[in-house]
Amino acid sequence: MSSNIDIKKICSWCGAEFIAHKTTTTCCSHRCANALYKKRKRDEVIKTNNQFTEKIVLEKPIEKIKEKPFITITEAAVYLGVTRPTLYSYLRKGELKASRLGCKYLLKKEDIDELFNHPSEFRIQSKERAPITEFYTTAEVKEKYNVVDSWIFVVAKKHNIPRTFNRGKTYWSKKHIDNYFGKKAADPEITEWYSVQEIQDKFGMSLAAIYTLASKNAVPKKKEGIMVSYSKKHFDIAKGIAQPDEPQYYTVAEAMAKFNLTRDQLYHYAKYHNIPRVKVGKYVKISRPELDKLFEAPKIE
């Protein structure tokens, strides 16, 4: 409903003079009214947050703790700005002292303050690194591990392998090179290998299929330059055309089931007869040949 009255007013947002037709109008336009509304809402949120923060500051535990002559373990941790386990370690080391009162331990706040009146000298124990004295030349790394120059530099950059330069030659830390490439070296007991081309010719597999099968079955591989070879024996087993070797160890469950033993009996026999055991992850495995020999049926001649 419109009004016939004209009232001169100043816009509460932009400060411009305008003619209002209602006494309640405060802004000259809808745009200014929206802006003023948003400002009021922001101010309300800010005010609420400030009140909440002031309340926390007023109720801050540290202020109450400062007024107490005796404080609990939790209060002492808050006072020092550490966790409860850290405070307990101070107590175990004798750096702080606490008295037991009923079911609570109390610390004298003066004792804590006294620690900082006579601070000890702060020292950082620096661990000196042993100097690197043994190096490979790039040519020696290439010859020993059958890799190309570019790959050596890529690996060195990625794994921060130390190097030095002398008369135009690059020398690599022998220890670090052996640590990295030694893990990648092929098993010396594997003597027969397939090249990728031989696998493709024999099995008619694509490159993606070869890589997937080798990765899924953990087929050992070796790399010479850009040529990758796969263990012939392991690849044939993965393809199902060769049988895997008989395992050399029983798991505890397998040995218990085969020889009808309890776990304690099995461990007793293994310990008494010095039967070799290995631990793979969290599992213990016991030598298969030794157990078979121990429990084999007696021969009557």
pLDDT, tens digit (0-9, with 9 covering 90-100), for 24-80:
888 898 999 999 999 999 999 999 888 877 776 666 667 777 778 888 888 888 888
Provide the residue type at 199 as one letter.
I
pTM of the model: 0.35
Bridge partners (DSSP) of residue 7 are 20
pLDDT beyond 60 at 289: yes
- In whole angstroms, how far apart are CA 237 and each of 60, 94, 222, 260? 69, 63, 18, 32
**Where does the pLDDT of residue 166 fall: very low under 50, low under 70, confident under 90, or very high at 90 and above?**
confident
Residues 229, 267: contact at Cβ < 8 Å?
A: no
Of the candidates 247, 291, 236, 242, the one whose C-alpha atom is nearest the C-alpha of residue 269 is 291
Give CA–CA dist 163/173, Å, rounded: 6
The predicted-structure confidence for 101-159, as pLDDT tens digits, reads as follows 888 888 888 888 887 777 777 666 666 677 888 889 988 888 887 778 888 888 888 88
Predicted local confidence at residue 37, as pLDDT: 92
Give CA–CA dist 249/265, Å, rounded: 18
pLDDT beyond 70 at 260: yes
Provide the residue type at 118 as one letter.
H
pLDDT beyond 70 at 247: no
pLDDT beyond 70 at 299: no
Predicted local confidence at residue 58, as pLDDT: 64
Give CA–CA dist 173/164, Å, rounded: 8
**Where does the pLDDT of residue 246 fall: very low under 50, low under 70, confident under 90, or very high at 90 and above?**
low
The predicted-structure confidence for 203-239, as pLDDT tens digits, reads as follows 888 888 888 888 888 788 877 767 788 888 888 888 8
pLDDT beyond 80 at 175: yes
Give CA–CA dist 228/231, Å, rounded: 10
